[in-house]
Amino acid sequence: MSMSLNPYLIFDGNTREVVHFYEKALGGKVMGIMAFGDMPADPDHPLTDDMKDRVMHAHLKVGDADLMFSDTFPGMPYQPGNTIHIALHPKDETRAREIFSALEDGGQVTMPLQKTDWSPLYGQVKDKFGVTFQVNVPGEQPQ
């Protein structure tokens, strides 16, 4: 089975600060930071100015490891230290659906598997032990 996984850390509006702190402390390299405002506008879900500046996704490379980060939406529950997800990256959609189905057994789907701007299939599920997984089939990478 070909799949990678990495920790995905969630913060409440200070992700940029966190990423740059870990970059310096761990000797990492920022591979990219994307704000929610960088995504195409959705008239059904308009973003506030505060939300546009929050980090949707950040990627820090530390040696051979990948750390990924995001901010919450304003007003969403947030408890420091209890905000680590595990991101799974199966190569094909069939395997992603199998993994997602197994994890949702006794758990709770927080975002159903669906096509996104960055992936042909992405979803989030909290398993029966309270661990949140992001299942993400890698999309085409821009050249």
The tokens describing 135, both together, are 């299942």
- Tokens 């995504």 -> residue: 39
Local confidence band at 116 (pLDDT 50, 70, 90 cut-offs)? very high
Q: Quick check: 72 and 10 in contact, CB under 8 A?
A: yes
pTM of the complete model: 0.73
> What domains can be seen in the chain, in order of their start residue?
3-137 (3.10.180.10)
Convert the pLDDT of each residue in 3-25 to its tens digit.
Answer: 888 999 999 999 999 999 899 98
Local confidence band at 135 (pLDDT 50, 70, 90 cut-offs)? very high
- Tokens 């085409």 -> residue: 140
For residue 142, pLDDT over 50 is answered with no
pLDDT of 46: 87
The tokens describing 63, both together, are 């040696």
